[in-house]
Amino acid sequence: MATNELQDKKALVTGATSGIGRAIAVKLAEAGATVYVTGRRAELGKETVELIEQAGGTGHFVVADVANIDDVRKLAEEVGEVDILVNNAGIFPFSSTPEQSLDSYQQVFDINVRASYFLTAALAPAMVTRKKGAIVNVSSVAAQIGTPVGSVYNASKAAMDALTRSWAVEFGAAGVRVNSVAPGPIRTDTAVDTVGEMFEAFSQSTPLGRAGEPEEIADAVVFLASDRAGYITGAVLTADGGLVAT
């Protein structure tokens, strides 16, 4: 449903060529924002922009591989000042600790943490100058629970929640709000393909007994980016079907 609560706002969403990121981009556009989306694959980025336009919004795609720090810096320069930054890009290769490769370890932190850190470092100062802005980090309930595999992914998302709290304090006096959304099991192609048969069992183990949909996470992000969340900062909004309550 289209609204105007983000009218005249400019947003950047990383990892927006599929799944949760794509849903966030479309929902922000439906709320009135002009949305810049980024990812590695131009054809998927074009699809996201088409969905934004079908929803009545305005979208732009910028090719960037956020695993590459030079691409992160170029992305910030090309997009310029934004009102809303959504740090969504992430990967989750699951392995046990003894089997974790150094290359994969580094890639997880480069994409899940470093990219968000330096993109925020580049874009937050303009928000501070204007004394307004909203940053939403997409983390995970994996930061709050223990799992038998995926310790590196879990640690990277815990780092994002720590950055959320630190940035909320660092930028709060200037009116810039920073929050996290921590999804539980969300039905995306990547999640289902990565977890396999365990996905359904994991989803059904939540108190709500089902997986979440990308649009449900997007709704949470739009809320935190909007003035409705004007007194919320430094928070982790868990959207997990009640998983962490069990």
98 within domain boundaries: yes
What pTM was computed for the model? 0.97
The boundaries of the domain holding residue 207 are 10-238
28 within domain boundaries: yes
Query: What whole-number distance in Å separates Cα of residue 211 and Cα of residue 60?
Result: 30
Rg of the Cα atoms in the chain: 17
Q: How many domains does the chain have?
A: 1
CATH of the domain at 175: 3.40.50.720
pLDDT digit string (tens) for the chain, length 246 residues: 568 999 999 999 999 999 999 999 999 999 999 999 999 999 999 999 999 999 999 999 999 999 999 999 999 999 999 999 999 999 998 899 999 999 999 999 999 999 999 999 999 999 999 999 999 999 999 999 999 999 999 999 999 999 999 999 999 999 999 999 999 999 999 998 888 888 999 999 999 999 999 999 999 999 999 999 999 999 999 999 999 999
244 within domain boundaries: no
77 within domain boundaries: yes
165 within domain boundaries: yes
Helix (H), strand (E), coil (C) string for 163-211: HHHHHHHHHHCCCEEEEEEEECCECCHHHHHHHCCHHHHHHHCCCCCCC
Question: Which member of 105, 117, 153, 231 is catalytic?
Answer: 153
Query: What whole-number distance in Å separates Cα of residue 246 and Cα of residue 173?
Result: 36
Q: Closest Cα to residue 230, out of 180, 179, 177?
A: 177
56 within domain boundaries: yes
> Using an 8 Å Cβ cutoff, are 59 and 35 in contact?
yes
Query: What whole-number distance in Å separates Cα of residue 212 and Cα of residue 203?
Result: 8
Active-site residue, 153 included: yes
176 within domain boundaries: yes
39 within domain boundaries: yes
Q: Between helices 19-30 and 214-225, what is the axis angle to 10°?
A: 50
